[in-house]
Amino acid sequence: MTKIVLVAAVLNCSFFYLFGQEELSKPFSDCNIKGSTTIYDYQAQKWISSDIEDSHKGTLPASTFKIINTLIALETGVVKDENDIINWPGATDTTKYGYRPDIYHDMSMKEAFTTSAGWVYVELAKKIGKEKYKPYLEASNYGNTDLSINDDDFWNFGNLAISPANQVAILIGVYEETLPFKKTSFQILKDMMVQEQTAEYTLRAKTGWTRDGGKDTGWWVGYLERSDNVYFFATRLIKNRTDKNSDFGACRKDITKNILRQLNML
């Protein structure tokens, strides 16, 4: 039995190891935001959550979908590697994606992932087609696999939903390379996901932020790889768009790192 099967079993019985919930909730109150952080200790095979109930609630994945989207784009041959150039289509809906002129140009797959250039992945989604996405998402046990919205940006808008616990299960599948993709695809993705690398650890992660349904939903998901262990995490923040919080984006990482330090993981 692989670890990913074990994770699925754990999720089905809703078993979590809860650690100092009041202390783990403090970083959220310090940021004046609601949300949760879900962590899986790989060696101990233990789950840690600041909010067990929230860990199981599904919402749009936003740009964290770029993790599995990259694998699908590589697997389907829409791009061959991280250096493939995607041509700027010359127009974008800035009211939908935000005004980001710094990303409106031809760019490589790697740059698109690093800068979270949404238009690149929308262009790739048009070429892949929803009929090809569905089998990969189902085989990977990715969220509810609902792609019913008439929009190529179905990870930022619509009914696709994934929970923080499910995000962690997907990350374990990436780490173990047990999801239904080629080894070369995993290697390209893992290299692109590196955000921090020191003598003590490598941190691979992806942010996400969508503004659908009158809500700001922000994510930071990834895993911290040390010589003796791996810690998988998924932090999700949610607020009403009418509630102003200029630290919303920064808090995704700040809260996660605060909790990882509390647990002596970082």
12 Cβ contact partners less than 8 Å away, ≥ 6 residues apart = none
Tens digit of each residue's pLDDT, the chain (266 residues): 233 333 333 444 444 545 555 578 899 999 999 999 999 999 999 999 999 899 999 999 999 999 999 999 999 999 999 999 999 988 766 656 567 888 989 999 999 999 999 999 999 999 999 999 999 999 999 999 999 999 999 999 999 999 999 999 999 999 999 999 999 999 999 999 999 999 999 999 999 999 999 999 999 999 999 999 999 999 999 999 999 999 999 999 999 999 999 999 99
> Where on the phi/psi map is residue 123: left (φ > 0), alpha (ψ -120 to 50), or beta?
alpha
Instruction: Output the domain CATH number for residue 20.
Output: 3.40.710.10
DSSP E strands in the chain: the ranges are 34-41, 46-49, 85-86, 107-108, 194-197, 201-210, 215-226, 230-240
Predicted pLDDT at 32: 93
CA 129 to chain centre: 21
Annotation marks residue 185 as catalytic: no
In this structure, the number of other CB atoms found within 10 A of the CB of residue 177 comes to: 14
Residue in the structure block whose two tokens are 């993705």: 189
- Owning domain of residue 183: 3-262
Catalytic residue among 36, 50, 63, 185: 63
Predicted pLDDT at 6: 33
Number of domains observed in the structure of the chain: 1
